[in-house]
Structure 1
Amino acid sequence: MSEYYWDSKIEYLRNTRWLYYNDDYLEFLVKNVWKLNAPVNIVDYGCGYGYLGVKLLPLLPEGSTYTGIDKGEDLIKEAREVFDKLPYSAEFIQGDIDMFVHRQYDVAICHAFLLHMANPRMILQKMIDSVLDGGRVICFEPHWIANTANYGFDEIQHSEVVPLGILQKLYEESAKDSGKDGNIGMKLPIFLSQLGLRNVECRVSDKVNFLDQNMDAAEKDRLFQSLKEEGIGQELEDSVKVVEQLVQRGLSVEEAQAQYAAELKLFQVFDSDSWLTYAPNMKISFGTVSRE
């Protein structure tokens, strides 16, 4: 069995990726913003099971190709099985993301990947180095503090279950300690420009998930289960253990206890009969490679 963490999270990835984007908005980006109207060769860093390839290739001109790179052996196996059933030209490389990639692609992409990297600038530089002059680098990455602000509950105050100030401190302390930054989505335009890209822009996904008690029962159950896997209202471990872990991550004892109490309340009140709106608020940053 693989010891790589994300090899054990394939079902989680399958069940939560759809929460982040509307297909029509992705089509708008491809055709109206990026204007990818000729075949392109895409490389996907940290491709997982090939999610972005599955979403983007049907929107791209015929003749486009997709190369996925991931450290996970099981993830790459899954990706190959997925694409064996699809009519697209795709190749998958299993190995450490630090491996050298030749400058041969028109577009380099990544999805919810850089936030897990202690050295995101170095990875971004590798992405840039793999793209031909005039090509694009496109990054889909989260901004956790905006994400946690984008809940709407019925009959419960947002501040009772999502203490934003405590969470912001927790995210910032974790990033300072490990280099891995869940708020990287809002920083990427700065990084891309500082690394020499031109025409840098950032968009926000328009996806809002609505757990509606009047929706189709099967769709409601699917959405509820996905929201739980996303981490909303999850069951908690022992309070002493959780508080201790939060203190180790930079919170005071009082802040850690307040965070635990908020998470416990959300677990107690959130169920399949709840009304909830949730916008992941994913940031999509991109720029053009120019070596002149």
Structure 2
Amino acid sequence: MSEYYWNSKIEYLRNTRWLYYNDDYLEFLVKNVWKINAPVNIVDYGCGYGYLGLKLLPLLPDGSTYTGIDKGEDLIKEARQIFDKLPHSVELIQGDIEEIQVHRQYDIALCHAFLLHMKSPRDILQKMIDSVLDGGRVICFEPHWIANTANYGFDGIQQSEVVRLGILQKLYEASAKDSGKDGNIGMRLPILLSQLGLRNVGCRVSDKVNFLDQNMDATEKVRLFQSLKEEGIGQELEDPVKVVEQLVQRGLSVEEAQAQYAAELKLLQEFDSDSWFTYAPNMKISYGTVGRE
């Protein structure tokens, strides 16, 4: 069994991706924003089990193809098992994006929640651009963590008691500075795409607001609550001394670390399947057109 981290996260990916987009919004992007009305060849960087391919291929013109690339052997195996049962033209490649060479043959290069894990996202973006034909597109679905955490809505709880935005922003920025991995990259991407020479750069925001409604269908309520927990909302905590030490190592003062632990503990204690709760992931969808002199 491979030790690649994301190989062990297939169920997490399967159980949380649906929180981000309504299908009709993805269809709107394809048909009304990107105006894809002829077959396209797509390459998906860090494809996982093929989530984007599964969502987009049914919306694209007949004759479109999908190539997915991922480092995870188990993820690619899972993707093959899924797509083998479907009528789409698909190629799945197991390989390290940072090392693999991709020929310039695609109309669209995609990624989804991938660049935030890269130490050099600008280099990956350049590789994506280099794999696209003139006039093609690069499209990136990436998070903006601080906007995500600002988009929790509670009944009976002050958000500031359980979501310490100032502390979280400090943590996110320190992590990006130390590792190069930026959970707020979604808001940087239009800038990066333009700086790398793309034209007609634009950005959209994911539309879905998840509502844990105590009047909703019981089965759907359980499913939503479990997915929200897997997303990390009200997650279980380790020993407080250990957590505080880790937060201090990441750049917080002792007081800030203790306040953050207290907020996370209160959220754990307050958030359950009987809560009224809204959550908007606020994913950023950035895109631009490749044009070479």
Normalised by the size of structure 2, how large is the TM-score?
0.99
The alignment status of 1:181 with 2:182, answered yes or no, reads: yes
Aligned twin of 1:236: 237
The alignment status of 1:276 with 2:277, answered yes or no, reads: yes
Deviations 1:117-147 (A, max 9, x none): 0000000000000000000000000000000
Aligned twin of 2:217: 216
Matches within 5 A, 1:123-162: 123-162=124-163
How far off its partner does 1:235 sit? 1.1
Deviations 1:46-105 (A, max 9, x none): 000000000000000000000000000000000000101111000000011021100000
Aligned twin of 1:286: 287
SS at match of 1:242: helix
Distance in 2 separating the partners of 1:210 and 1:85: 33
Normalised by the size of structure 1, how large is the TM-score?
1.00
Distance in 1 separating the partners of 2:68 and 2:253: 42
Task: Name the amino acid aligned to 1:134.
Answer: G
Deviations 1:215-238 (A, max 9, x none): 000000000000000000011000
Distance in 2 separating the partners of 1:241 and 1:84: 45
How far off its partner does 1:214 sit? 0.2
Aligned twin of 2:48: 48
Aligned twin of 1:60: 60
Aligned twin of 1:93: 93
Aligned twin of 2:167: 166
Distance in 2 separating the partners of 1:253 and 1:92: 47
Aligned twin of 1:262: 263
SS at match of 2:44: strand
The alignment status of 1:74 with 2:74, answered yes or no, reads: yes
Distance in 2 separating the partners of 1:191 and 1:23: 28
SS at match of 1:135: strand
CA-based RMSD:
0.4
Deviations 1:21-67 (A, max 9, x none): 01000000000000010000000000000000000000000000000
Distance in 2 separating the partners of 1:249 and 1:42: 38
Distance in 2 separating the partners of 1:156 and 1:96: 44
Distance in 1 separating the partners of 2:261 and 2:157: 17
How far off its partner does 1:2 sit? 1.3
Moved over 6 A (4+): none
SS at match of 2:216: coil
The aligned length equals 292
Distance in 1 separating the partners of 2:182 and 2:212: 29
Aligned twin of 1:35: 35
SS at match of 2:227: helix
SS at match of 1:27: helix
Distance in 1 separating the partners of 2:13 and 2:144: 18
Distance in 2 separating the partners of 1:122 and 1:234: 33
The alignment status of 1:20 with 2:27, answered yes or no, reads: no
SS at match of 2:190: helix
Question: Structure 2 unaligned runs (5+)?
Answer: none
Matches within 5 A, 1:96-115: 96-98=96-98, 99-115=100-116
SS at match of 1:185: helix
Aligned twin of 1:121: 122
Distance in 1 separating the partners of 2:197 and 2:271: 46
How far off its partner does 1:17 sit? 0.2
Task: Name the amino acid aligned to 1:218.
Answer: T
Distance in 2 separating the partners of 1:87 and 1:172: 44
Distance in 2 separating the partners of 1:79 and 1:206: 26
Distance in 2 separating the partners of 1:57 and 1:146: 29
SS at match of 2:201: strand
Deviations 1:149-191 (A, max 9, x none): 0010000000000000000000000000000000000000000
Task: Name the amino acid aligned to 2:68.
Answer: G
Aligned twin of 1:247: 248
